[in-house]
Each structure stands twice: as structure tokens, then as C-alpha cells.
Structure 1
Amino acid sequence: MDALWLALAFLLGLLFRHWGFPPLVGYLAAGFMLNAFGQQGSELLDQTAHAGVLLLLFSVGLKLRLKSLIRPEVWGGGLLHLAISGAVLGLGLSVVLGLPSGQALLLAITLGFSSTVLAAKALEEKVELRAFHGRLAIGILIIQDLAALGLMALAGAGAPSPWALLILGLPLLRPLVTKLLDWSGHDELLVLYGLALALVVGGQGFEYLGLSSELGALLLGALLAGHPRAVELSKALWALKEVLLVGFFLQIGLLHPPSLVTVAGALLFTLLLPLKAALFFFILVWFRLRARTAFLTALALTSYSEFALIAAKIMVHNGQLAADWLVLLAITVALSFIVAAPLNRFAHAIYERLESRLARFERSDRHPDEQPVSLGSTQILILGMGHAGAAAYDFLKKRQHLLTHHRVLMVSGVDSDVGKVERHVHEGRRVVYADAEDPGFWHRLKLEGLRAVILAMPDPEAKHIATQQLRRHGFQGLIGAISHHPEEEAALRAAGADMTFLAFNEVGVGLAEHIWEALEDRSHPVGKVAV
């Protein structure tokens, strides 16, 4: 039976991806379809789903910068949204449905939470976890998780164990944890070490202390954030995490068979999602963020959280809610996923259409991270300073000696990952923080003197947007883009790119060139001709 579930999840995931939706929408549909045929979840599926969620949050933690949580727009924005949405929706539930005020408030606050799983996965797929809006969204989600601990106690889950105070000493374990990571090598021991930290220490360890296992997995990942091998560990766990997460989305659809009344109630709550997004948008703009950042962050948080199901289970178990509420919330969460997934997929295109309307809400004084970018006398601009971008930067800087002293080749890099920018600046490269997918970036950028642009970002949509924006703003120079799949090349050239290079092909060509040069160097001293 589990094999049938996997086959159905694969087929529907493939179908929905063909239609332009994320595969997770297909996995949700598979769960609903199995539910309609009378199938029920199993203990194995529950364990699989839970493990997938923990690995996802552990991976998010690996890319987290904890100091970002102390920013006012993170803790202030997160808590202010919960307070306003909880008060307004709680009043509505109490007046319209006649729920006791305490229960109505608890239920309203749970609906104020956004899905960490959906937001993290959507941001990860677009390689935006470390972009400014991605870090902001994840930070707000962590604030929500911390607030959830108190809510669990109020809902009757019980207070954390007194031993929970031990987590305050978690940073003291960092030297040991990082040393074990160094000793784990690059093969199966690395994967096992990641599983042990996420599922055993973070998951079961935090549950033993009366805390959220999800929060534990995230904090254990954050303990390794910034380590040189954190990215390698994240990549090693990637495939396993993706497979296990299928169980989570199947589980949502398999929870309970719905009735017409519960479906109608779920649809009503789903219709409130735009109001939830709007509240996030206006709160973040009030914190001096630009309209684009506020919009993308709000869209990433436009969903209902799986935590609503956990809180509802507790309240149903305590007799505070009727069992139908659990079914209603399960459908609500699933519908919010179906609505939010495609919205996040096309978030940048949606903002471009709404930019003129949303930008009018910006404040005149800007957030420090949203200040205009100056590139000076840059002649070659590299967008995306990962491995490929850094290699291109170093190659171009070394070629300066071929130019006369009358011409100086000025190369600059741009990246939306603050950590990368700091590292490159420390290593002597001229790199600035900016998001090339932001239309506002191109409005503020002076293109005079710029002769060529290299697009080295990993996300195809980001390269497509950057190419369009360059041509739209009158750039006549060369645009070269790195692509990872042949189908990307046609789209980039149609958008205005002059040349595209398949990454793996160029790696092979580059290695062959080095081998050829080495053979020539060895053959010439003895008078042989290189072949």
C-alpha cells in the first residue's frame, strides 16, 4: 500500500509540475485522493513526515544567522502581526461562532502562524533562503515558533520541563559539534551525523525536555551555521529530506474525510489569506522596508501553519473544541498550501505587475539594508558570487596585466547573500549586497560605463529577470549567462542574453584546456610537437 501511495504521489507531482505548479501541490492532491478512496494514514507515514520536517528545519538552521533575530523588523514584525491578527480574528470567532473568548483567542493565534515547511521549501527552491526577504521570513517564522511554546502550555500541552533551561547552554556545545563535523568525512558518516543531530539530539532531545522537536532541529542546525562545511552537510541531506517530505504532504491530505460544512468553513478561512498577507505587508513597510521586500516576505508567509493542527489536537483532546474543528483546520492548512505554492512560484512576476501600486506605500526613510547600491566605475558586473561568479571575478582580475596602463579593468560583484558578501570583501574582492531580482535595484543603478554583465546566479528565473531588466533600462553591452539545463538557454536568449554557457560543458572544456596546456609544456622542452 505504501508503494501505491508513493507511485500516486510521483504521478501527480509530475503532472502538477508539468502544469507549472510546484510538485508539492501534487503530493497534497494525492493525499486527498487517497482519503477519498477510504485510505488512512499509518504510523510509518507519520514518522516519515515528522523526519522530513525535522530535516528541512535542520537545513534551514544551517543557513541561519541568529543575530538576524534581534532585528526590530523580525521580532517586532512577527509579534505585532500575531497580536493584531489574533485580536481581530479572535473577536470574530467569539462573536460569530459563539466560542468562549479564551478558546477563540487561542484558535485565532494559531491561524496567525505561517507554515515553516512551506515557506522554507519555497524559498529554498528559488535559492532565496539567504536573500534579505528570505532571511526576514525565516526570522519571523522562528519568532512564531518561540511564541508557539507558550501557546502550547496555554492550550494544555503542559509546561516545559525545568531541564529545558539547559538549552541556554547550547552554544557551549558548538566546539564539540563542529569538531565532530570535521571528523565525519565526506561520505555516509556525514549523512549519519546530520541525521543524528536533527532527529535524535534536536528532535527527541528537545521533546524529552518538553520543547518542540521542530525548534530543536532548527537550533541544532543553527549551531553549525557559518561552518565551512555547513553547505556540504546541507547538500548531503538534500535528497533524503526531499523524499521524506513527500510523507508530510501526503499526511495532510489523509487526516480526515471532510464534510460539506467543514469544506465551506475551510474555504472561508482560505479567503482570509489576502488579509493576512496585507497585514504583513503594511507592518513591514512601517518598519521602513521597501515595498518589494515587504511583498515577497508577506507572500512567503501567506499560509496557515501545520502548528494549527497540533494546537487543535490538544484542544480537542482536552474537550475544548469539537472534533470537526480538527478536520476543518486540516483542510484549511492544505488549501492554504495549494494557494500559496503557485503564488510563491511566481512572486517576482506578480510584484512586477503591482510595483507601481505597492511602491506608493514605501516610507521616505529607508531601512539600512535597503539603501541604493553604488558600483562606481565598474566595467564588468558579475551577478551572483557563488563558486562560478567568484571564479569569473578572479579570472578577469588576473587578466588586467594584459591591458595597458591607460586602461584599468574594473570588476564588481553583486550578491543577495550577506554572508557571501562579507566573505568576499574580507578576501579582497569588490562585492556589494543587492538583489538582482529587485526591479528597484535596476531603477537605482547607473549603467554608464558598464560594458558587460555576467549572470552567475543559480536560479533561472533570477537570470531571466536580470536580463529583461538590463535590456529594459537600455543596456547595450554584452550579457553572458551560465545555465544548468539546455532548456534555459532559449529563454535567456529570447530575453536578451548575447551568450549562454552550459555549466557542466564549460567545466569539461576548461579541464581539457588545462590538460592540453600541461601536455604542451611537457612536450616543448624535448622538442616534441603537441598533438
Structure 2
Amino acid sequence: MIIGYVTTGTLIVYAFGLASVAGSSTLSHIAEFGIVFLMFMIGLEFSFDKIKAMKQEVLLFGTLQILLSWVIFYLVAHLFFGIESKVALVVSAAFSLSSTAIVLKSFNETRETHTGYGRNAIGILIMQDIAVIPILLLISLLANHEARLEELLLHTFLSAVLVLFILFVPGKKVATMILKLAADARMDEIFVGTILFIVLGASALAGYFGFSYSLGAFIAGMIIAGTKYKYQAEADLSHFRDLLLGLFFITVGMQVDLEFLRNHLFRILWVLLAVMGLKALIIYIIIRFFRSAKVAFKTALSLAQVGEFSFAIFALSQSNGLLDKETHQLLVLTVIFSMILTPFLLKNLRAISAVFVREREKSVPAFSGTIGLHNHIVVCGYGTFGKEVVTYLKRYDINYIAIDYNLAQVEEGIRAGDNVQFGNIAQKAILEKLNLEECVAVVVAVDDTRKIRVICESILQKAPHCHIIAKVTTKAEEEELGELDIYRVVNEKHEIARLLGQAAISCEYERLKGR
């Protein structure tokens, strides 16, 4: 989709001769509101309490990533390639930032925001949004020799305190009050208009004090996240977000100079690979000190691209005489190609990490099997559904053993006092230790439904008369398992629909009974 938007922008410029419009600051400002609404949606998911819980990801990982990337890119550009120090400072600052628009949009769609690498990426991106402010101040300082660093830093600090105070103290009360009035009016247009007013007002306030619009929108989202209007606000603004994000990527495509691209293609690709490779390596090393190799690798790959704020940095640098036209176009095209490449990387994170990162098995707890368990129930998967099944079985004091191939989930279960073992249920060596011949039933409750058939086939090969109860999500999965000798297949959507229907019928029964 992103490639389509970028290509559309390029075609518009060359088909209609709009090269003069492509660099319009007004158009860029309008397109930036796609990121504004995206950051507002992210803010809705992260209340102030959640941000405090993410202090390591935001403050530690984010700060280390920005500073180390900035310093290393500067040293490479200035010492190895002889780039003038001011230009090297600006370029390295831009290269240290990643794409909020692409990464958060992808993680929202795939529901990866609450994974380990998703939290790391979001924390770092939040800090990067904050870092845009001192970077822009640095450019002003480099361009204006009369400006004093102490005055700029003091002004920025006081502005930040004032913005946070206005938004979190009177702003939160005012926002809650007008949202209540809008909801009481029971008119969709008034409620949508009120949300737009809050988002744009917070963004304008942040922009007035020199901060990015998206940072103000993020704070507005955090404020509304603590109210009962959170879900309605998210539903009403999703269309604005998608429309303006599309416009943003179209404006990115409008900045492509095809003649320059044709003449310098290999040079652009070389810079692209060098920048993304070095940046991914820096992020991997930082995260690896605190997280597993796989989480560190996925975080690094997710943030290897150069972000959209680099366009503003390059444009301001060019207008202040720090970048010449050729260097500016080279950098812009490098950023665009990195953004085009990113969706492919994000879509295949799991597959790529499986190839390059293999966790060492010696840290995995030994499988102790089902010693002393007879007439027990085996729960395959200790994810969302598996935990609920275990809780239900414990309530009735039923013997059970749960098994999962996700080490983090196994350790979580052990800490909770549950009988959880680490292992791949599809492997014969593991099946032999589960005492399937004497178990009452096997509940297949894995979150990854693509593995269900393989697991069921492995169990039936070992214990053909075993009672398997499998959870599926779609009708196609249910039909696929129909070919196997399975005791019962539970379609989660059908069961939820049945319960909802029963609840509705009971309401009708109560109405008739009250006549």
C-alpha cells in the first residue's frame, strides 16, 4: 500500500507537471496531520500509567539509540568520508530517527504493539519524536552564529514544562467536560468535531511552543485514554488517520527526482544499505544487553529505516545553506527507499529472524514430564486461551499439565504457580513424556491456528484413541480438522455468537415473562 502511495505521488508530479507544488510547505503541513492522527491513536493505547511502566524502553533504549546512532553516523561521515562537520551533524541526526508512520501503522494492523519488540520500538519512537526538538534547535544554532545555546535550551525546557502543564492539568479537565457535553448531545457530528478540536488544539499548542504536532496529538491521546470516550474516539478518527496518512506518503513520492535517481541509482543503494545496516546493528547491540537475541533482532529490523521527520530536517538545513541541492536529493531518495523497503521487512519479521537468530537451547528449562499424573488433561498452548483453560481446570481441582514452545510464557506460568512445561508438542520425544495413553483429554489451545493440524496429527499418531478438543478461529480450519478423528472442534467465533444469541433470547424471555 505504501509503495502504491509513493508511486502515485511520483506519477502525479510528472503527469501533471506539478514539480513546483511538490516542495510546497503548505502541502507538507497538511500531509503531516496523517502522522498527527496516527500518534493520537497510539496515545489512546498508552495511558500515563503505561508510559511510566515503559520508562526503560522510552528513556533508556530511546536515549541510547539516538545518542549512539548520532555519534557513530557523525564519526563515519566526518572522519571516513570527509564530510564537513556541520553537514555531518545534520545528516547523522536525521539518520538516527526512524519512521513513526510506517512502523506504528504496521504494528497496529498486525497487533504487534504489545509484543516485546513492539514495546521496544514504540518506546524508542516516542523518544525520537521528542528528540526532533533539540535537533531542529541545533540546525538553527548552526545556521545562526549569533544564537546562544544556553538561551535555546532554557527556552525549550520552559516550553516543555508549560505545554505539559496546560495539557495535563486544565487541558484534561476541559477535554473531559466538553466530551461529556458532546456525548450528551447524541449527535455523531458534534462528537467527531469535538475530538478533532481536542486533537488539533493539542497539536497546535505543541507546535506553537516549537514541538512537533505529533507529540501534542500523542499527549492528547493519553489524556482521552483515561476517559470512557476512548473507544468511540478511536472509531471516529480512524478514517481521518487513513486518509491523511495516504496523503503523507503521496507527498513523499512527489519529492522523487527521476533524472537524479537514474544517474545516481547505485550510489543511493550503497548509502541505503550502509545506513540501514549500521543503524540496525547499533539498535541490536543496545537491546541485546537487556533482551533476548530474537527480540533485539526484531526491534533492530523494525527501526532500521530513516524516518519522515528527516524530510523536515533536510528541508530546513537546505534553506539555511547547510545542504546543497544534490546532497539534499541524495538524502531524500535514500530515506524514500528505506521507507519503501520497510513494509517488506515488517511483514516478514518472524521469518527473517528465524533465519538469522537461533536462540541457544541451554537456557531452556528441562522437561520434567508428567510424573505422578494419571487421568490428567494436557493443555497445548499457554497463551491467551491456554491460560484461561488452566484457570478453569484449577478451579475444579483437576490434574493437568500445560505445554508451550514460548519460553517467556512458560516462565510466566511457572511464576504464577501453574504446571507449565517448555516443549514443542509436535515432536515425538515430547509426546512420549506426556503420558497420552492415560490422559482424559488433550485441549489444543494454541494462539497460532496454523499449527493446529500438525499438532493434532502428531497426537493421533502417538495415541489414536486420545480425546482431542481443538480450538479454531475460522470455518475453513474447522473443515480441515473434520478429516481427522477429533473428539470435538470448537469454533471460537461460533461459540461467542451462540452465547451472545442466548443472552439476547434470555432478554426477550424476561420481557415476555414480565407482561
- Equivalent pair of 1:378/1:412 in contact (CA under 8 Å): no
Q: Distance in 2 between matches of 1:346 and 1:115?
A: 17
- The CA deviation at 1:215 is 1.3
In structure 1, the partner of 2:281 is 278
Rounded Cα–Cα distance in structure 1 between residues aligned with 2:456 and 2:51: 38
Alignment partners' CA distance in 1, 2:138 and 2:513: 81
Range moving further from structure 2, 517-526 or 304-313: 517-526
| One-letter amino acid of the structure 1 residue matched with residue 52 of structure 2 | K
Query: Could you say if the C-alpha distance between residues 383 and 328 of structure 1 is closer, same or farther in structure 2, counting changes exceeding 3 Å?
Result: farther
Alignment correspondent of 1:59? 41
Aligned runs of 1:123-202 on 2, under 5 Å?
A: 123-156=107-140, 159=152, 162-169=158-165, 170-172=167-169, 173-185=171-183, 187-201=188-202
The equivalent position to 1:70 in structure 2, one of 31, 55, 59, is 55
Q: How does 1:484-523 map to 2 (within 5 A)?
A: 499=489, 501=491, 503=493, 508-514=497-503
Q: Output the CA distance in 2 between the equivalents of 1:493 and 1:240.
A: 43
Please state how far the C-alpha of 1:300 moved relative to its aligned partner.
1.6
Give the structure 2 partner of residue 342 of structure 1: 344
Which of these residues, 33, 40, 52, is aligned with residue 11 of structure 2? 33
Change (3 A) 1:119 1:431: farther
Residues 190-232 of structure 1: CA deviation (Å, up to 9, x unaligned):
432332222222x211111121112111122122335444234
Return the alpha-carbon distance in structure 2 between the equivalents of residues 242 and 59 of structure 1.
11
Q: Secondary structure at the match of 2:473?
A: strand
Give the one of 27, 32, 36 matched to 1:50: 32
**1:290, 1:469 → 2: CA distance?**
28
Structure 2 partner of 1:479: 470
Which aligned pairs between 1:419-434 and structure 2 lie closer than 5 A? none
Give unmatched runs, 5+ long, in structure 1. 1-22, 367-371, 527-531
Taking a change above 3 Å as real, the CA distance of residues 209 and 46 of structure 1, as seen in their structure-2 partners, is same
Report the equivalent of 2:64: 80
Once the two structures are TM-superposed, the CA of residue 255 in structure 1 deviates from its matched residue by 1.6
| 2:78–2:88 CA contact under 8 A, matched in 1 | yes
Distance in 1 (CA, whole Å) between partners of 2:227 and 2:424 is: 33
2:471 alignment partner, SS class = strand
Deviation sequence 1:318-360 (CA, Å, 0-9, x none): 111112233222211211112111110111122233342xx25
1:95–1:519 CA distance, 2 compared to 1 (3 A): closer
Quote the Cα distance in structure 2 between the aligned partners of 1:103 and 1:117. Answer: 26
- Code of the residue aligned with 1:30 in structure 2: it is T
Query: Aligned pairs, how many?
Result: 461
User: For residue 168 of structure 2, what is the amino acid of its counterpart?
Assistant: P
Give the direction of change, closer, same or farther, for the CA distance of 1:232–1:518 in structure 2 (3 Å limit): closer
CA contact (8 A) 1:381 1:452 kept: yes
Residues 517 and 145 of structure 1, relative CA distance in 2, 3 Å threshold: closer
- Alpha-carbon displacement from aligned partner over 1:154-175 (angstroms, at most 9, x marks no partner): 1018845654431231332434
2:99 to 94, 100, 115: 115
> In structure 1, which of residues 285, 308, 311 is the aligned counterpart of residue 310 of structure 2?
308
Cα distance change, pair 379–177 in 1 and its aligned pair in 2 (3 A): farther
Deviations 1:345-378 (A, max 9, x none): 111122233342xx25x997x9xxxxx9xxx998
Give 1:230's aligned amino acid: K
Q: Which residue of structure 2 aligns with residue 213 of structure 1?
A: 213
1:411-450 counterparts in 2 under 5 A? 448=434
- The question of whether the paired residues in 1 share the 8 Å contact of 2:58 and 2:126 is answered with no
1:407-458: CA deviation from partner (whole Å, max 9, x where unpaired): 4799999999x9xxx9xx9xxxx999x9xxx999999x99957831446x6x
Question: Quick check: which has more Rg, 1 or 2?
Answer: 2
Amino acid at match of 1:53: I
C-alpha distance in 2 between matches for 1:276 and 1:363: 30
Q: Is the 8 A contact 2:403 2:423 kept in 1?
A: no
CA-to-aligned-CA distance 1:446-486 (integer Å, 9 cap, x gap): 9957831446x6xxxx543x648966996984331224xx6
Residue 253 of structure 1 deviates from its aligned partner by 0.6
- In structure 2, give the amino acid aligned to 1:31: G
Distance 1:39 1:502 in 2: 52
Matched position secondary structure for 2:241: helix
- Please give the secondary structure, in 2, of the residue aligned with 1:270: helix
User: 1:120, CA displacement in angstroms?
Assistant: 0.5
Asked if structure 2 preserves the Cα contact closer than 8 Å seen for 1:191 and 1:233, the reply is yes
Matched, 1:93 2:93: no
* Distance change (3 Å), C-alpha of 1:517 and 1:223: closer
Task: Judge conservation of contact 1:63–1:222 (CA < 8 Å) in 2.
Answer: yes
Alignment of 1:386-401 (within 5 A): 397=392
Q: Distance in 1 between matches of 2:88 and 2:320?
A: 15
Q: Structure 1 residues 522, 345: CA separation in 2 closer, same or farther (over 3 Å shift)?
A: same
- Corresponding residue SS for 1:155: helix
For residues 138 and 496 of structure 2, the distance between their equivalents in structure 1, rounded to whole angstroms, comes to 57
Distance 2:401 2:235 in 1: 34
Instruction: Check 1:226–1:520 CA distance in 2 against 1; reply closer, same or farther (3 A cut).
Output: closer
Secondary structure (helix, strand or coil) at the match of 1:452 reads: strand
**Letter of the aligned partner of 1:191 in structure 2?**
V
Secondary structure of the corresponding residue to residue 129 of structure 1: coil
Amino acid at match of 2:35: V
Stretch of structure 1 that moved more, 156-165 or 323-332 = 156-165
Offset, 1:512: 4.2
Tell me, which stretches of 5 or more residues in structure 2 are unaligned?
142-146, 368-372, 461-465
Partner letter of residue 301 of structure 2?
Answer: L
Report % sequence identity: 23
Q: Give 3-state SS (helix, strand or coil) of 1:224's partner.
A: helix
Contact 2:90–2:317 under 8 Å retained in 1: no
* 1:103 corresponds to: 87
Cα contact 2:5–2:249 (8 A) shared by 1: yes
Q: 1:322 to 1:237 in 2, by over 3 A?
A: same
Asked if 1 retains the 8 angstrom alpha-carbon contact of 2:121 and 2:303, the reply is: yes
> In terms of mean alpha carbon deviation, does 106-115 or 270-279 score higher?
270-279
Structure 1 letter corresponding to 2:491: F
How far the C-alpha of 1:95 sits from its partner, in A, is 4.0
The separation in 1 between residues aligned to 2:485 and 2:249, in whole angstroms, is 39
Q: Once the two structures are superposed, what CA deviation does each residue of 1:93-113 show, in whole Å capped at 9, x if it has no partner?
A: 224553321320221121011
Q: CA RMSD in A?
A: 4.9
Q: Contact 2:61–2:120 at 8 Å: present in 1 too?
A: no
Offset of residue 284 of structure 1: 0.6
Structure 1 distance, partners of 2:330, 2:394, is 65
TM-score by length of 2: 0.73
Q: Scaled by the length of structure 1, what TM-score is found?
A: 0.71
CA contact (8 A) 2:9 2:254 kept: yes
Specify the SS of the correspondent of 2:257.
Answer: coil
- Deviation, structure 1 residue 67: 0.8
Stretch moving more, 405-414 or 45-54? 405-414
